[in-house]
Amino acid sequence: MELIDGKKVSDTVKQEITQKVTEIINNGGKRPHLAAILVGNDGGSITYVNHKVKACEQIGFTSTLQKYEDTVSEEELLAKIAEFNANNDIDGFIVQLPLPKHINEQKIIEAIDPTKDVDGFHPVNVGKMVIGLPCFKSATPAGIIKLLSFYNIETSGKKCVVIGRSNIVGKPMSVLLSQKGYPGDCTVTVCHSRTQNLAEECAQADIVIAALGSPEFVTKDMVKNGAVVIDVGTTRVPSDKTKSGWKLKGDVKFDEVSPKCSYITPVPGGVGPMTIVSLLQNTLDAAANK
């Protein structure tokens, strides 16, 4: 079993991006600029956005963080999005999800200029991704693709089961793995809450992508010997061993599943760090596309 070290891969990619930023600046160019909109006080969202801002600082991007109380109106958010769309210094921006119930998330996503939609959530980018055109790809699936290629993991003709059908991870992941070329050319099955015999489907897979958000859902009887297991889960569970009082739990029961795997991602330190570098890469591309 080989552990897929997302931290190591993300550090390598960050160094490459840092180098490119230095070249841009040395050639008299503008520093890439990522902006983020954060609404409310969800602990997970605050942590993720802070990590994104910190990563920008590390690699030499400019960053802007716009925070709102969870009482903010949809109109106010739409006005800020219009402002960011029009701001020539901002190359790309994200609205951290989920948003409070009174805000129409889809309306917010569709208000973002697709050329600045570095999350790849706008229907224009999703549509382009589906038909294989250049576009911003959703950061978590793009990060997983990068991990598979970094470790030269064979994907052609492999049976892949994606558990979860979210717009952010499951759906785009299934598209990217089934597209022509490497990494891709997989035969993909998408499993979800209505799937019958999910454990049996999963047990036939060469590659399992667990992205349902249910801690330790994938157990050893669901994974065949030699499988590649990618764990996207990041649920916060109470812990008396950490200062914060919680720790992250993946969707895979790591201790019992890992001995059966050829490759597996840990939580934390697997997919998580890759999501951030994909976002940075998209922002660098957005700046270059101008």
Catalytic residue positions? 52, 96, 119
Contact indicator for 118, 90 with CB cutoff of 8 Å: no
CB of 275 to ligand GUN, least distance (A): 6
Indicate the length of the chain as a whole number: 290
C-beta closer to ligand GUN: residue 55 or 257: 55
Output the furthest CA–CA distance in the chain (Å, rounded): 58
Interaction residues for ligand GUN, span 99-158 (CB under 6 A): 119, 139-140
96 is an interface residue for ligand GUN by CB under 6 A: yes
Give me the 237-276 binding string for ligand GUN, x by CB under 6 A, dash otherwise: --------------------------------------x-
Q: CB-hemisphere CA count at 13 Å for 270?
A: 28
- Residue linked to tokens 């942590």: 47
* Residue from 81, 94, 112, 191 binding ligand GUN (CB under 6 A): 94
Q: How far apart are CA 246 and CA 204, in angstroms?
A: 34
CB of 285 to ligand GUN, least distance (A): 16
Residue 259: DSSP 8-state: G
C-beta closer to ligand GUN: residue 66 or 189: 66
Contact indicator for 147, 6 with CB cutoff of 8 Å: yes
Q: How far apart are CA 135 and CA 88, in angstroms?
A: 20
| DSSP H/E element including 276 | helix 271-289
Tell me which stretch binds ligand GUN (CB under 6 A): 3-11, 22-30, 54-62, 90-98.
90-98
Tell me which stretch binds ligand GUN (CB under 6 A): 24-32, 77-85, 89-97, 207-215.
89-97
Task: List contacts with ligand GUN (CB under 6 A).
Answer: 94-97, 119, 139-140, 168, 275
